[in-house]
Amino acid sequence: MNENNVESILHEERLFPPSAEFSTKARIPNRAALDSLIQVANKDYVGFWAKQARAELSWHQPFEITLDSTNAPYYQWFNDGELNVSFNCLDRHLKDKGDKIAIIFEGESGDRTTLTYQQLHQRVCRFANVLKAQGITQGDRVVIYLPMVPEAVIAMQACARIGAIHSVVFGGFSAESLKDRIEDTEAKFLITADGGYRGGRIIALKAAADRALKSGCKSIQGVIVLRRTGHSISMITERDLWWHEAETGISSHCDPVWLNAEHPLFLLYTSGSTGKPKGIQHASAGYLLGTITTMKWVFDIRDEDIFWCTADIGWVTGHSYVTYGPLAVGATIVIYEGAPTFPDSGRFWKICQDHGVTVFYTAPTAIRALMKAGDNIPAAYNLSQLRLLGTVGEPINPEAWMWYHRVIGGGHCPIVDTWWQTETGVHMIAPIPGVTTAKPGSCTFPLPGIDIAVVNAQGQPITAPDQGGYLVITKPWPSMIRTIWQDKQRYYDTYWRKFDGKYYLSGDSARRDEEGYFWIMGRTDDILNVAGHRLGTMEIESALLAHPKVAEAAVIGRPDDIKGEAILAYVTLKETCSIGDKALIIELRDWVADQIGAIAKPDEIRFVDNLPKTRSGKIMRRLLRSISRGETITQDTSTLESETILTQLQEKN
Ligand code: WT7
C-alpha cells in the first residue's frame, strides 16, 4: 500500500440481531455477559488468558508464567506448564462421554461409520504405539498426506500424543509440493493412503508420494499406508508399511507424553506472496486454548450439537475446527470425504439433513458455488436442525451472505463471519452469535482478549470511519504463530518489521464503519490505485456479485497511462445465463457505477468459465495480474484447481 488510506465505497445497511430464542440458550447470552468478559480482558489481558488457560485446559504441571515477552516478538505462553494436547482432546472426556459419538464419517460413495470417544481414544493410542514402534519420538516431524477420513484425525492426534510434530499436506497437492514440504520439515515419516475419493474419481495419493520420495526426501525413514480405495499400488518392501498390518498385535494403551506448553504441535505451510511456502509453527497449550474458547464463544458449542466444519485437514481450518477444537470440547463432528458437488450440488445439504447437523461452517467460495446451482436444490432437504452458520476464508459478499441466511439458515440462524489466518491459529474477529447484531459482509468485532487496530503506514490508528488501512494485531495472543520453521528472520520480516516489532501485520486491509464494525477489504497486495484513489478489490467484486447474472468476480488493476491503474474485472456468470455479450458488459459497468460510484466502474470486463483459485478456494489475483500483463508466469500454479483455466485466460488477452 502507498501512504494514502484505502477508500471505502461499499455501504451495507441491513442489520441482523440474534433472535431472543437463540440468545436465551447461548453460552454468552447477552451484552452484559460479553462486556464483562471484554472488560476483564481490557484491564489485564495476560491475567484474562491465564484464567482461561486454568479453566479450560487440563494441566499435568500447572504454569506460573503466563506470557514471556523476553524475546518478543517470539512470544511464549504458559511456558513453564506441561500438558498433552491429545489427553485434552480425548482422555479427559472418557469418564463422562466415553460412549458419546466423536466422529460421524461419510465417504464420498456413501459409506458411513461412527467412532465414540472411547473408540477414537483406542485408535489414537494404538496408532501412537505404531509410531513409537517405528522409532518416532518427541520432536520428530511426521508428514501426513491423507484423504479426509477419520484416520487423518487419528494420525494427527497420535502425533500429538507422543510429541511428534505433524505437518499435514493437503491431498490435492502435487508430488512436487509434497516433496518441498517433506524436505523443509526434514520429516522422518510419511503417513499416506493408497488413495482417496473426490468428484467420483480416485486421487492416487500413494503414487504421488512415490514420485515425491523418488526425487529426494532423504530424511524419510518409512511410509505408513492406509488402505482406503483398495486399488493396486506398489509397496516398497523396506520402506512402506500398511497401516492395518503395522497395528497387528499393537496395544491400545498408550500414556500421553507430558510436554512443555510451548512444544511445537504442528507445522502448516502457507504460500507467501513471493518465494517458497512458509512453515507456520504453532505451539501446544496456547493454540489449544484458542480453539476451545472460540468453539464456545463463536460456535456456541453445546453438548447436543452436531458440528460440521467442511474444511479439509490440509488447511488450518481443518486443524482448529475438525481435529482439535471440537474434540477438546467433547463435541460430535461430521467428516465428509468428497466433493461438495458429488453426485450433485445437494450433497452438503443432504449430509446436513441425514446427520442432523446443527452448526455448519464453510467457505464463501463453496457458498457461491452452491448458490449458483439455484434455490430448489437446498429446498429439497430438511435443514431445520441447523441453528448456527459460519464462514471463513475470504470476505463474504453481502449477496452470498443473504442467500446463506435465507435459503440455508431459513432466516433464523445467526451467521458468524470469522476472520483469522493460518498464523493466528483461531478466530480473531467474529460475531458472538447470541449478542452481536450482524451486518452482511462484516466480520464485526475482535474477540475478548484480542486487540486489533486499523492503522496507517506510520502505524497510527485510523480514527475516521470507513477509512481503510493496515489490519494489525496489537497484543500477543495465546494461539499465535511462534515462528516460521527454520526461518526466524523471515518470521520477523513478514509479520513484525513493518511496525518495528510493535504490531503483528496481517497483510489484510480493513476499515471500521461509524459503529466500529470491521470490514475486510482484501489483501494489501491487491489494492488498486485508480486515479489517485486507493480501492480494495473486495468492494468492487461485491458490487458485481450483487448483479443477478454474476456468479463470481475477480478484480485487478491493469497499468494505465492516464489513471495509473485501470480496473479489469474477470466475471463468471450463473449457470442459467448464456455467455455475456457487449450489452451485458455495458450493463455490468453501469451497475457497478450505480452501486458504488463512477470511480469504481470497471474499465474492462472479461467473461470466463472459471477463475483461477487455490485449492482452498481463494482467487489468485496475482496470477490474473500476470496474465493480463502478458508476463511469464512465475507463481506456483501447481496449487491451481485446474490447469486448463490458465489457457483460457491467456486466450482472452
Ligand atoms: C486470509 C487467511 C483462516 C482460515 C482459512 C484461511 C482471508 C479469512 C476471512 C473473513 C475476510 C478472510 C484473509 C486472511 N480471510 N477469513 N472472514 N473475511 N477475509 O487461512 O489461508 O491463512 O488465509 O484469508 O485475507 O488474511 P489462510
pLDDT for res 4: 65
Is 565 a residue whose pLDDT tops 90? no
pLDDT in tens, 49-62: 999 999 999 999 99
Output Rg (C-alpha) for the chain, integer angstroms: 24
CA of 132 to the centre of ligand 1 (A): 36
CA 53 to chain CA mean position, Å:
23
Q: Which tens digit of pLDDT belongs to each residue from 451-489? A: 999 999 999 999 999 999 999 999 999 999 999 999 999
| Higher pLDDT pick, 636 / 143 | 143
pLDDT digit string, tens, across residues 386-402: 999 999 998 899 999 99
Cell representation of residue 293: 474458547
338 is in an annotated binding site: no
pLDDT at 70 over 80: yes
State yes or no: 625 annotated in a binding site: no
Average pLDDT over residues 258-279: 87
pLDDT over 70 (residue 636): no
Q: pLDDT grade, residue 3 (50/70/90)?
A: low
Residue whose entry in the numeric block shows the C-alpha cell 468492487: 540
Question: 537 a known binding residue?
Answer: no
- Closest Cα to atom 3 of ligand 1: 421
Task: Give the CA dihedral 13, 19, 23, 26, nearest 10 degrees.
Answer: -90
Sign of CA dihedral 77, 44, 295, 315: negative
The band of 7, judged by pLDDT with boundaries at 50, 70 and 90, is confident
| pLDDT value, residue 598 | 83
- Residue among 143, 105, 145 at smallest CA distance from 123: 105
CA 291 – ligand 1 centroid, Å:
16
Q: Give CA separation, 53 vs 157, 285, 359, 381, in Å.
A: 20, 8, 25, 41
Question: Which residues line ligand 1 at a C-beta cut-off of 6 Å?
Answer: 270, 315-317, 392-395, 417-422, 443, 506-508, 520, 523, 616
Centre of ligand 1 to C-alpha 363, Å, is 10
pLDDT-above-70 percentage for the chain: 96
**Apex CA 23: angle with CA 289 and CA 420, to 5°?**
35
Q: Sorting pLDDT into bands at 50, 70 and 90, what band is 316?
A: very high
What value does the mean pLDDT of the chain take? Answer: 94
Confidence of residue 1 (pLDDT cuts 50, 70, 90): very low
Residue 124 in contact with residue 219, Cβ under 8 Å?
no
Which atom of ligand 1 is closest in space to residue 520's alpha carbon? 11
Banded model confidence at residue 638, pLDDT cuts 50, 70, 90 = low
Give the three-state DSSP class for 635.
Answer: coil
> In terms of pLDDT, which residue wins out, 581 or 217?
217
pLDDT at 266 > cutoff 80: yes
The full 3-state SS of 490-506, as one line of letters, equals HHHHHHCHHHCCCCEEE
What would the mean pLDDT of 158-170 be, rounded to a whole number?
97
Q: In which band, very low, low, confident or very high, does the pLDDT at 545 lie, cut at 50, 70 and 90?
A: very high
Residue nearest atom 17 of ligand 1, based on CA coordinates: 419
- DSSP bridge pairs for 114: 104
Identify the CA nearest to 295 among candidates 28, 24, 616, 95.
28
Q: What's the average model confidence in pLDDT over 330-343?
A: 96
* Residue closest by Cα to atom 1 of ligand 1: 421
Q: Which strands form 278-283's sheet, in the order they lie side by side?
A: 240-242, 222-226, 189-193, 141-145, 165-168, 264-270, 278-283, 483-484
Relative to beta strand 222-226, strand 189-193 is: parallel
> Atom of ligand 1 at shortest distance to CA of 506?
26
* pLDDT value, residue 643: 72
Asked if residue 578 has pLDDT above 60, the reply is: yes
589 assigned binding-site residue = no
* Residue (of 442, 477, 501, 425) closest to 270 by Cα position: 425
Distance from residue 411's CA to the centre of ligand 1 (Å): 25
- How far does residue 422's CA lie from ligand 1's centre (Å)? 8
C-alpha grid cell for residue 157?
Answer: 492426534
Q: What is the pLDDT of residue 618?
A: 85
CB-based contact 239:223 (threshold 8 Å): yes
What does the pLDDT average to over 606-631?
A: 87
Task: Indicate the pTM of the whole model.
Answer: 0.93
The DSSP-derived string for 521-590 is EEEGGG-EEETTEEE-HHHHHHHHHTSTTEEEEEEEEEEETTTEEEEEEEEEE-TTSPPP-HHHHHHHHH
Q: Which domains does the chain have, with CATH numbers?
A: 526-652 (3.30.300.30)
Residues contacting 327, CB < 8 A, separation 6+: 89, 90, 102, 120, 153, 157, 333
Q: What is the pLDDT of residue 276?
A: 78
Start-to-end C-alpha separation, the chain: 27
Task: Say how many CA atoms lie within 13 Å of 207 toward its Cβ.
Answer: 10
Whole-number Å distance, alpha carbon 419 to ligand 1 midpoint, is 6
Residue nearest to atom 2 of ligand 1 (CA): 421
Which residue has better confidence, 643 or 617?
617
Mean per-residue pLDDT, 164-170: 97
3-state SS string over 381-447?
CCCCCCCEEEECCCCCCHHHHHHHHHHHCCCCCCEEECECCCCCCCCCECCCCCCCCECCCCCECEC
Q: Reply yes or no on whether the pLDDT at 273 is more than 60.
A: no
Q: Residues of the chain with pLDDT > 90: what percent?
A: 80
Residue 647: exposure state from Cβ atoms within 10 A (0-12, 13-18, ≥19)? exposed
Query: Could you read off the pLDDT of 187-216 as tens digits, one per residue?
Result: 999 999 999 999 999 999 999 999 999 989
> Which atom belonging to ligand 1 lies closest to the Cα atom of 522?
25
Nearest to 434 by CA among 27, 23, 17: 23
Residue 322 known to bind ligand: no
Q: Give CA–CA dist 13/529, Å, rounded.
A: 27
